[in-house]
Amino acid sequence: MTTTTARPAEARGDSDRDLAFTIADHLVATTFADLDEDTVAATKLSILDTVGVTLASSGLTPGVQDYVAVAQEFGGTPESPVLGFGDVRLPAPLAAWANGALVHGLDFDDLVRDVGYHPSTPTVPTALALANHVGRLSGRDLITAVALGNDLGTRLAATVPSHGAWFGTPVFGGFASAATAAKVLGLDSGATRAALGIAFAQAAGTLEMRWSPNSNIASFNGSWPNKAGVMAALLARRGAQGIENTFEGRGGLFATYFGGTYDREQVTADLGRRFRGAEVSFKVWPACGGSHCAIDATLQLFAENELRAQDVDSLVIATTLGTFALTQPIEARRAPTTAMDAKFSIPYSIAVAAVRGDVTLDDFLPERLADPAVLDFARRIDAVDDPSLAIRKAALPARIEVTTTDGRHLTHRVDQPRGVWPYSRLSPEEVERKFRDCASYARVPIKPEALDSFIGAVLDLENVTDVSTLTTELQR
């Protein structure tokens, strides 16, 4: 890590300018032709997956209708759709805000596990909202804008050794959204730099939204960065000036939010040649990523030993680092009372896996949380913090230890769950199946032929001439 002391702009030479200059030049210069094959493929799947979980959220996330209703109160040009809400259209900034509120509602959106960041949450809603605003945007331009935003957000999230109490996705996501918006709008380097600086004025979000009980604001953390990025880029297009030393100024992001300790090369290394959004993982289970190894370990142990829930006398889940917090306090984690609490409860998730043999969106519906069979199994679960499992942050491994009613002692460990890049990323066919399942929960039902058309267009996105028609398909 590099510890820096910010200096005034006038004391810097051209070679020592703020990262905002380097990033803006890179965003303007990069074209679809610069993207490698894997980045293009991963970005298309990210768009498909993100739209899918957004549609599911429209029908399943409690309170999401409030965001859409507030946005509708402002009126304005009905240019961009709110996914899953039928024919509801809003001005681009409000559509980005509303869809941003939807996208993380179920904690089923994609992530880059190495840095604990959800790359598409602040970029896909932005790009789709502005695609309708600008009119004719090609599929190649959409892929490029999302790929660049996903790359930038991931690089920024990787730049600091720890996010501390900051919530990485809304903090870094505002810059990713601004980068995506600037690319869609075709801003030059100066205006792009201004957009990044304007977005910095709105970069916020701490983990208190996760830690505070009886709050669902964490579900909607994607609303703010999407709106911030769209507004920042639209203002910059009109000539509004943002701060220049956004990242490395004396009051810049790294000095103010992270104590001046950061690794500059995480942003600059292979910039324009390696696109870190290609490191995306697609979630198999609709719960916090920290629980996925435990879910996989439970399902695998039960399958391999032909166990049933009633065969288990006790179960111990061993985790460490941040994932152990998902087991504590154990009494509350065994019996969560809200969908979001359940998604952040390892005991609940593995009890569901043990009892039902799968973990699905239905398992987090309010009426399913009181299932006596699941709660009975959860009462047999205990947890231990095992530091030997701390192989690296991204792995978040888990070990399941079961004592059966006939006296057997069984154990199974998983270091990487299904769906995690580069070990077992979901295939296009698996992402398509997840999309169709998610879309079935949309608040306003979508015709099968519209889903077919949307999937086909996204998987062939580089050949689509006008992406504004994509989301129109989903309103039929």
Task: Kindly tell me if the per-residue pLDDT of 389 is higher than 80.
Answer: yes
List pLDDT tens digits, range 391-441. Answer: 765 568 999 999 999 999 999 999 988 888 888 889 999 999 999 999 999
**Cα(232)–Cα(191) distance, integer angstroms:** 10
Global pTM reads 0.93
**Cα(302)–Cα(319) distance, integer angstroms:** 19
CATH topology of domain 2-284+437-473: 2-methylcitrate dehydratase PrpD (1.10.4100)
Q: Say how far residue 287 (Cα) sits from the centre of its chain.
A: 12
Residues of the chain above pLDDT 70, percent: 96
Summary mean pLDDT of the chain: 93
What pLDDT band is residue 11 in, cutting at 50, 70 and 90?
very low
List pLDDT tens digits, range 431-474. Answer: 999 999 999 999 999 999 999 999 999 999 999 999 988 888 78
Task: Kindly tell me if the per-residue pLDDT of 212 is higher than 80.
Answer: no
Task: Kindly tell me if the per-residue pLDDT of 14 is higher than 70.
Answer: no
Q: Among 7-16, 69-78, 97-106, 414-423, which stretch is predicted with the lowest mean pLDDT?
A: 7-16
**Cα(268)–Cα(22) distance, integer angstroms:** 8
What pLDDT band is residue 216 in, cutting at 50, 70 and 90?
confident
Cβ–Cβ under 8 Å, residues 296 and 417: yes
Exposure string over 9-24, b if 16+ CB within 10 A, otherwise e: eeeeeeeeebbbbbbb
In this structure, which CATH number among 3.90.180.10, 3.30.1330.120, 3.50.50.60, 3.30.1300.10 belongs to the domain 289-414? 3.30.1330.120
**Cα(182)–Cα(149) distance, integer angstroms:** 10
Which pLDDT does position 15 carry in this prediction?
53
Locate 447 and state its tokens. Answer: 């015709």
Name the amino acid, one letter, at 213. Answer: P
Cβ–Cβ under 8 Å, residues 197 and 240: no
**Cα(56)–Cα(105) distance, integer angstroms:** 9
Domain ranges of the chain: 2-284+437-473, 289-414
Which DSSP state fits 384?
Answer: E
List pLDDT tens digits, range 130-162. Answer: 998 998 899 999 999 999 999 999 999 999 988
CB atoms within 10 A of CB 313: 13
Q: Which residues contact 122 (CB under 8 A, 6 or more apart)?
A: 100, 149, 153, 169, 170, 173, 174, 176, 177, 180, 222, 225, 226, 229
**Cα(264)–Cα(144) distance, integer angstroms:** 24
Q: List phi, psi (to 5°) of 426.
A: -60, 145
Cis peptide before 119 (omega within 30 of 0): no
Closest Cα partner for 57 from 46, 70, 47, 68? 68
Task: Kindly tell me if the per-residue pLDDT of 128 is higher than 50.
Answer: yes
Cβ–Cβ under 8 Å, residues 313 and 404: yes
Which pLDDT does position 6 carry in this prediction?
47
**Cα(25)–Cα(129) distance, integer angstroms:** 24
What pLDDT band is residue 292 in, cutting at 50, 70 and 90?
very high
Cβ–Cβ under 8 Å, residues 358 and 293: no
Question: What is the enclosing helix (H) or strand (E) of 119?
Answer: none
Which pLDDT does position 476 carry in this prediction?
63
Cβ–Cβ under 8 Å, residues 225 and 100: yes
Which DSSP state fits 9?
Answer: G
**Cα(205)–Cα(209) distance, integer angstroms:** 8
